[in-house]
A = this chain, B = another copy of it.
Amino acid sequence: MTKHTARDQLVAGAADMLGRRGLRASSIRELAKHSGAPLGSTYHYFPGGKTQVAVEAVEFADTLTVRALSEGLAAGPVDGLRRFIAMWRKIVVDSEFRAGCPVLAVSVEEPDDDDAPLRAAARAFDHWTTLLAESLAAHGATQEAAQQTATLIVASIEGTVAMCRAHRSTTPLDRTADALEDVVRSIIA
């Protein structure tokens, strides 16, 4: 067990809240309550205030996603895609269509004064896209096709998760999954 357990709880809780309510709607007070930590502790662990919490929450979600994606891609692009989709499906279903992606949530809100959370989101998107593109290229896709398809995968899954929340159904995710698998297969053929 690492050192800062309470701090880690705060970051994980913030990532969850971000995905559900968005950045502006997530208050430090509710985050503290939601994570079982006292309000005073948040400003002790995160002197940068709400902005720092948001950045670390986005990076936390990024790391989690990179891990899942890398594990899947080790068995090839199609398995990586499936693992990526399965991860989001679980999040959406387990939360009864209430949770979403913290990175997307940050990306759709205009920053107040500090760009840091938005830049962290851009880095996360880049990580995922690069990971996918490298795997596609390594399995026979051209550089151009690999980049295009990687971007398509990340964008469509992010968008589909939002659509699933609105529809309260996994149907969009099922359709996107099938469509993407066809695309990937045709690219690496």
Residues of A within 8 A of B (CB): 20-25, 98, 100-101, 103-110, 118-119, 121-122, 125-126, 147-149, 151-152, 154-160, 162-163, 165-168, 172, 175-176, 178-180, 182-183, 186
Contact = CB atoms under 8 A, between A and B. Distances in A.
Could you say how many copies of this chain the assembly holds?
A: 2
Contacts of A122: 163, 166-168
Contact of A107 (B109, B147, B154, B162): B162
29 contacts: A21-B109, A22-B22, A24-B24, A24-B25, A25-B25, A103-B166, A106-B166, A107-B162, A108-B108, A108-B162, A119-B166, A121-B166, A122-B166, A125-B166, A147-B175, A148-B175, A151-B175, A152-B179, A152-B180, A155-B156, A155-B157, A155-B159, A155-B162, A155-B176, A156-B159, A159-B159, A159-B162, A183-B183, A186-B186
Contacts of A106: 166
Nearest to A168: B122
Closest 7 CB pairs of A and B: A159-B159, A155-B159, A156-B156, A24-B25, A158-B159, A122-B166, A155-B160
A21 B23 CA distance: 10
A25 B110 contact: yes
A147 B100 CA distance: 23
A28 to B, nearest CB: 15
A65 B155 CA distance: 19
A151 B162 contact: no
Contacts of A105: 108-109
Contact of A172 (B21, B121, B155, B160): B155
B21 A107 contact: no
